[in-house]
Chain A
Amino acid sequence: MPVFEPTAGTHEFDAVPGLREAWSRFIADAFESNLYGAKDSAHSLLLRWGYSDVDLRFYNPASMPIVAGSKPANVFWPALPTSYDGDFGGKKKKLYEYLDAPQKENGVRSRVQDEYCEWVVERDASGKAVRILFTCEPPEFYDFLYRDPYGVGKAKTRALLLSLYRDRCGTPDVALKELEAGKGSKRAYDPYNSWNAKHCVHMQQGANTLFAEINIVAIAGLLRRKGQKVLTDAQALIDCGRYGEPKRQSDPKIGATINQLARENRFFTLENPVGLYMTGLNTAGWSVAGHPELDPQSLWKVRKGTPDADPARSMIVRAELVSPPGLTLSDVLIGGVPIRYGAQVAEQIQMRVGVLVSEPQAQLPPPHAIGCRDANPPVPPPAAPAPGRGNR
């Protein structure tokens, strides 16, 4: 019986027997490696400071039952990145142009949209935007189908991969070899393949991954201190814990929220299905020029996942903004301003990650805080293990 649902709870994996179970195992393994892996896992950090997994508050629901009374909670952030704001002196148009276009970073041309939501703008011959595709599907989902790490049957999983690509790209022309890079034994799935680049099949920015999400929650769930002062500030925590990307909006906020839960001595795990989700598009104040009867919200088409009026429950991983009939997106006005860039629309999209949070565990001592650098830990290990439940 699988514990973890496929991202967004979709049924695409049902086409291949055993695939849902394999995905669940894949996610459970990601939890385990971030919690208990030999290197840089939450547990390994605690050990280096002389503590044990008794101080972990993040847990793997595949290894430990959901703590009774746990309730869902969310972290929200905007889909429009701010990491590059400083480079453009607040000049939005330059920033939007930069964000809309793939950029060469670390030798690879890739989208640089780094808030776990990426987009591609389709334009007509005159350069007007006609459709904007948004995705927050993790690359792991597709790489998993290509690699078939749990031996479900490569032929079937790759056939499904191809079928999903053809569906996303709206053409039967996609070939498997076009999704690969490298030669011989190094041949692998290429997240930067031209079909993904053009049709925004899944996220490709280097840090926009499901693994990153799990890692942030695992590492940020450790209490930190500088001297004797327990850290609470979002910036200080991410600088100290070195999880995620400090320049982003999402990672420091997710980290700070998670760390606060641990400071409050709560157990927490990620919402199932594990994913990073768009909650919807805020079209308040939007209009279609010359067509007051048109509701701009009708132009927002969810292609994968489940929208919900309650943003805390929405699980959208793929959506597009389409042109009104017979018009282009430049006829759609956001507060009177025509849409020219995908970034303008991304600014109106809210993202979320969900967690399940227990009540504070009054019967347990609060977790120990570790320092920021792991050489020569100044605090000796406790004389005896603290009472209470480990989470393994």
Chain B
Amino acid sequence: MGRLRYPLRRIIEGLITLFIVMTIIFLLFRVMPGDPLSIVIDPKMTPEVKEMIRHSYGLDQPMFVQYGIYLKNLLTLNLGESFRYSQPVSEVLAAKIPNTLLLFTSASVLSAVLGIILGRIIAWRRNSKLEYGLTLAGLFFYEMPIFWFGLILIYLFAFRLNLFPISGMIDFELWTLGATTGEKIIDILHHLILPLITLTTASFCGMMLLMRTSMVETMKEDYVEAAKARGLPDKVVRDSYAARNAELPVITAFILSLSASIGGGVLTEKIFSWPGIGYELYQATIGRDYPLAQGCFFILTLMTILAVIVIDISYAYLDPRVSYD
């Protein structure tokens, strides 16, 4: 019973957080300048008709009633109708979420693996030239504005070397004029490479430094010292004793980076015109497609909160050193 209480508490806390965030968003979208219906309402309509249309959107209700309807709609995932697509927001999002997940999951996996491998190496060789070099280089990429780096990569690899497509996720011509499924998969992967390289290069360093710190810590543990004392080869000690226990925080960071990168993905998606949620949010905001912008925001927040909860709960189960009351 005690084991179940903690996850339950976290989930309830998560729900409260979601509630707070959604309230903020509700207020935010209500103070936006201009009438949210200005796209729908014809200026030449008489006041009575405007009122009727307002009524059909529920905008003539008092604020708290609107708020209630809004919460109810969120609960039922009824996110309204997008102005731009003339299509339910949930449908638009359902089409975009896989694109975003494809890009950011693969990037997170790659950078986690790269980070773990490099982190192990530099932790083992502390204060070597290699450590300084890798840390500096990694940090340089880590602190780069990702859109700037993306532009440079597009310049080098797409423009100068002509290796990859410049933007988008698919070749429109290929898709609209008929292509086999195999060709389509290859086409998507081909478009994926450049944004993937950008994201991985920019984020492996976080993992690497974390792995290093975590590894340095575990290396001080008694059992690692003992293993060393027994005369086991360095590589074995490093990989089987030290590294294995150092991975926990890295895996955590991996899940967290997934959710964080999705939120911060607006810039990457914009540079590469990647048709994901971030790009959609950006465009919906610019085009004043409030229902869609609100929907994108809701999904992004939901993802972040879920990720945090998953981490906290798995931490409680997996790491005996962490105890929660």
- Do A and B form a real pair? no
